[in-house]
Amino acid sequence: MARVRRVETPGELPEAEAIRLAQAGNAAAFERLYRLHNRRVYSLCLRMVGNTAEAEDLTQEAFLQLFRKIATFRGESAFSTWLHRLAVNVVLMRLRKKSATESSLDEMTEPDEESGGPRRDFGMPDLRLSGSIDRVNLQRAVEQLPPGYKAVFVLHDVQGYEHNEIAEIMDCSIGNSKSQLHKARMRLRELLHESMRDKAREDRKAAGNAGGKD
């Protein structure tokens, strides 16, 4: 899947130049960098926390950290990768604080300690999601993913980053990124099935109630 990259239109300050000027404290350059990347960072934060007020706060915090450190940026990695790395860290730190316990990335991605992955029931009846995945359903399910899975899923499947970029952003191996993504998708499938079953149960109940009234 190709990532949608923001196109620089002629006449606008190119990113490299904006970085150079921002390193010298130029206000317009800061704004330019913010405008180039704010949407993707905000979207990442929003999908990670599922709350607009908190996403705004985290977006501001990520950019604040970025601009505080911009003088140290030497261009070893892509600017957007660097920014996303900061943003993911800011979000994961917040989620860790929220959970009130110190936990490693592995702990944040492994909900099933026994198997090291999402619970699975092989040989279950043939349930299909056809027609039941809309944006709202999927977003609800994404919100229930453990933070580590969620970050990899949002970066890869929603924002279109490649595994090598995610490995840099998340500070993990490419294999780890692939494995987390696979587990995230399987967990999502499970969550979507659960919500499908819940809905079917509610529908039956509603139909039963309606029948009782007749």
103 or 158: CB nearest other proteins: 158
The amino acid occupying position 196 is: M
| Of the residues 72, 113, 122, 214, which one makes contact with other proteins according to CB under 8 A | 122
Task: Identify which of 141, 96, 86 has the alpha carbon closest to the alpha carbon of residue 118.
Answer: 141
Shortest reach from residue 124's CB to other proteins, in Å? 7
Using CB under 8 A as the binding rule, the residues of this chain from 75 to 114 that contact other proteins are none
Task: Pick the stretch among 105-113, 136-144, 164-172, 202-210 that binds other proteins (CB under 8 A).
Answer: 136-144
Task: Pick the stretch among 54-62, 73-81, 169-177, 203-211 that binds other proteins (CB under 8 A).
Answer: 54-62
| Of the residues 19, 31, 54, 105, which one makes contact with other proteins according to CB under 8 A | 31
Angle at 198 between CA 195 and CA 203, to 5 degrees: 125
Residues 6 or more apart whose Cβ sits within 8 Å of residue 98: none
10 Å CB burial of residue 91 (0-12, 13-18, 19+) is: buried
Q: Are 150 and 92 in contact (CB under 8 A)?
A: no
Alpha carbons 44 and 89: distance in angstroms, whole number:
12
Residues interacting with other proteins, by CB under 8 A?
1, 4, 11-13, 17, 21, 24-32, 34-35, 38-43, 46-47, 52, 56, 59-60, 63-64, 67-68, 120, 122-124, 126-130, 133-135, 137-139, 142, 153, 157-160, 178, 182, 185-186, 188-189, 192
